[in-house]
A = this chain, B = another copy of it.
């Protein structure tokens, strides 16, 4: 029985680090979870729509977590020009994130039609930048579209963009469905999926009445979760870690209208060790969490990081904290309840990379 594994520090290719007090609490937790490279989502208020905003935000994050390598993505909007894409690429910004309008947190400024962005996609393809797709279309009663099939109904859009720009690197973010897994496998080497911790763990039953398991896209059927588990357990190189960890204070979760998001940042690798262990696939954890994402993006960590290791140990009674206080100076800011709070996850980081 495996009771300990040692792997390189991990890479999280989909992370929300927020602003202000929340950013100050969450950002230092990235390394605590065993992650040394993080790809940061741009859905702030206002969204990160240009290079200068992204670099300024990156500096803030680096000041809070100097041990982590941050890569940035811009929020796709009509403001984003071809010239700005070229400028962003030169500045080391790795991608552009597309949110369909109104489907998740701070996506009101998102896109409605992709064709108007084809010149931007053309420039991204030439620059080697990655297109990050939130792959859901808005619910539509007349077309029977709702949160349960919004991802599957989006997939023709993914295929259309891929066909128009076959060399453009595209990541279908936080995939949740068997249909998405099948399509991404089929579309070939320039199309990948990020997979979250919580979508490897949850199904629809788990967010029925459970606010801390509610996220967008929602977790789906058992066979969808099984498809996600099988593709990562198979060691497929285009399916890699992107946690979509999205902290909210508990007072906006445990309420009549819960905000969408699951907070996994402080314990990313222990959660994953638990899940991969339960699948009998601990040997596939390293590639999923540490290598496949960087290979797809072609990114590097800060010098020296590739040799730094994380040792995970299987133990009884590794209980997830009940909550993380957002600010000791401002207790009214509340706490963030992490994924599987108060549960024994059976794995912990015995030796971290920093």
Q: Which residues of A contact B (CB under 8 A)?
A: 139-149, 203-205, 207-212, 214, 218, 221-223, 225-226, 253-260, 337, 341
Report yes or no: B260 in contact with A209, Cβ–Cβ below 8 A: yes
Q: Which residue of B lies closest to A139 (CB)?
A: B205
Q: Which residue of B lies closest to A253 (CB)?
A: B256
Q: How many copies does the complex hold?
A: 2
Report yes or no: B212 in contact with A146, Cβ–Cβ below 8 A: no
Q: Which residue of B lies closest to A260 (CB)?
A: B209
Report yes or no: A218 in contact with B208, Cβ–Cβ below 8 A: yes
19 CB-based A-B contacts, threshold 8 Å: A139-B205, A143-B222, A144-B221, A145-B222, A146-B205, A146-B222, A147-B204, A147-B208, A148-B148, A149-B221, A207-B208, A207-B209, A208-B214, A208-B218, A209-B257, A211-B255, A211-B258, A254-B255, A256-B341
* Assembly CA distance A44 to B145 (angstroms): 38
Also in contact, A212 and B256, with CB within 8 A (given A141-B203, A141-B222, A222-B141)? yes
> A181 to nearest B CB, angstroms?
15
Also in contact, A204 and B144, with CB within 8 A (given A211-B256, A214-B209, A258-B211)? no
- Residues from chain B with Cβ under 8 Å of A147 in the complex: 204-205, 208
Report yes or no: B146 in contact with A210, Cβ–Cβ below 8 A: no
Also in contact, A258 and B141, with CB within 8 A (given A146-B204, A146-B221, A148-B204)? no
Report yes or no: A256 in contact with B256, Cβ–Cβ below 8 A: no
- Residues from chain B with Cβ under 8 Å of A258 in the complex: 209-211
Contact of A257 among B140, B149, B203, B210 (CB under 8 A): B210
Contact of A254 among B207, B226, B256 (CB under 8 A): B256
A-B pairs, 9 with minimum CB distance? A209-B258, A141-B222, A209-B214, A144-B223, A144-B222, A147-B205, A146-B205, A146-B204, A254-B255
> A222 to nearest B CB, angstroms?
4
* Assembly CA distance A16 to B19 (angstroms): 45
- Residues from chain B with Cβ under 8 Å of A256 in the complex: 210-212, 253-254, 337, 341
* Assembly CA distance A330 to B82 (angstroms): 65
* Assembly CA distance A336 to B94 (angstroms): 50
Q: Which residue of B lies closest to A141 (CB)?
A: B222
> A150 to nearest B CB, angstroms?
9
- In this complex, the member of A143, A204, A205, A256 whose beta carbon has the largest number of chain B beta carbons within 10 angstroms is A256
* Assembly CA distance A142 to B221 (angstroms): 11
Q: Which residue of B lies closest to A218 (CB)?
A: B208
Q: Which residue of B lies closest to A257 (CB)?
A: B210
Contact of A221 among B148, B205, B226, B259 (CB under 8 A): B148
Report yes or no: B146 in contact with A209, Cβ–Cβ below 8 A: no
* Assembly CA distance A295 to B142 (angstroms): 34
> A220 to nearest B CB, angstroms?
8
